[in-house]
Amino acid sequence: MKKKILVADDDAITRLFAEKILKEADYEVTLTKDGAEAFDAISSNDFVAALIDIKMPTVSGEDLVTLIRDKTKNKTPLIYITVIPKDEVDISIVDGFIQKPFTRTTLIEGIEETIKNFKR
pLDDT per residue rounded down to tens, the chain (120 residues): 789 999 999 999 999 999 999 999 999 999 999 999 999 999 888 899 999 999 998 999 999 999 998 887 768 999 999 999 999 999 999 999 999 999 999 999 999 999 999 976
Radius of gyration of the chain (CA): 13
Look at residues 82, 30, 92 and name the one whose alpha carbon lies nearest to residue 56: 82
Kindly report the CATH number assigned to the domain that includes residue 19: 3.40.50.2300
Which residues fall within 8 angstroms of residue 111, CB to CB, at 6 or more apart?
Answer: 5, 49, 51, 79, 96, 98
Task: Evaluate whether 35 touches 6 at the Cβ level (below 8 Å).
Answer: no
Single pTM value for the model: 0.94
The burial class, CB within 10 Å (0-12 / 13-18 / 19+), for 107 is buried
CA dist 48 and 6 (Å) reads: 8
Containing domain of residue 82, as a range?
3-117
